[in-house]
Homo-oligomer: A and B are copies of this chain.
């Protein structure tokens, strides 16, 4: 999948009305499933998941506010952001004054419609631009939300690429936001693209497409015994805006994925943030009981752009180039995870004679300083079973690629032996 193809997927998913449950999520997963096979899970309302309970399922057919002339002044058919997520059904005639407590606007961004939800409070509301609100007369208005909130299921999906080991890398993205392109259709598109490209990896890769918070909590509740297999994880969100890549560290701050991402991003414009217990589902994966090696990869981070959680986060806010750039960094991270490891130098007393093994320029003084040879010397020097190849790359200032290639050459020459994982 190219940047353009990822962008096309964003555009196709954009109109669907997703929430933390319901048919919008199901339809989204069907479309993703056209690119990579998915295992779809349906978890019944009322299921206890950790400290939470799977809520009722919410679906919506239509919603509007009609003015006295019969015109739909707020219309769900034009944008699903107009309805507060999880609004209970309503059908009433109300004055503007009666309606006001149910209307949400952004006074400082008067042309944008905000995104609001009320998952765990039985209430209802509409979101609209300040300008539209300011133009409304006293009414009366016909107010309709044709929704259902009833026992049903929470839906999430997994795509697993089995590797040679059970050790798992998790790529998680939330699928609960309605018409918001960067947050998180971009994350879904990049995850889908990465999933479609992975072939015969060493590690196992598990992609999660699940609603935010309750989805991650449900997955964790149902996979509590398996989290010990997770060697690295990333929540992927806001993956398509034009800002620089941003990595937010895991709770522990120095896990393998933290170091891998720092190394991968070092060559790109980027920002690295310390962990905070706010943002995306790293909040759940990094809760103290799990404390997993989970970071978050975004471009502009959570709540960091004015269009965040507004109608301004539309497909035009996301660019094919940015999607491709995020994918490229992610693939480089996968490459480090795949190739990293700890090695033992089998000839650790003094330097082994590289020349006689064809690994060294034989005429002293001419080509000694080449990066490939420096990489071999660094790998030999630090391959004491304690340092990983990523350690070598960090300490030497060489690229991981150069270090990994040196290790491969030395391994072929019988000078190295792999003794363990990296990280």
Contacts and interface: CB of A to CB of B under 8 A. Distances in A.
B287 A224 contact: no
A364 B383 CA distance: 51
A117 B365 CA distance: 7
B121 A284 contact: no
B116 A364 contact: yes
B381 A348 contact: no
- A interface SS class: loop
Interface in A69-126: 84-85, 114-121, 123
This chain: how many copies in the complex?
3
Contacts of A350: 50-52, 216-217, 220-221, 284, 287, 289-290
A214 to B, nearest CB: 9
B120 A289 contact: no
Interface stretch (A26-34, A203-211, A293-301, A355-363): A355-363
A18 interface: no
A123 B291 CA distance: 61
Q: What bracket does the count of chain A residues touching chain B fall in? A: 35 or more
Interface of A: 50-52, 84-85, 114-121, 123, 213, 216-217, 220-221, 224, 251, 276-278, 283-284, 286-291, 303, 309, 345, 347-353, 355-356, 362-366, 368-369, 374, 377-378, 380-384, 396
24 contacts: A50-B347, A51-B352, A114-B365, A116-B366, A117-B363, A118-B362, A118-B363, A213-B351, A216-B350, A221-B349, A224-B349, A276-B378, A277-B374, A277-B378, A277-B380, A278-B374, A283-B351, A283-B377, A286-B381, A287-B350, A288-B381, A288-B383, A288-B384, A303-B369
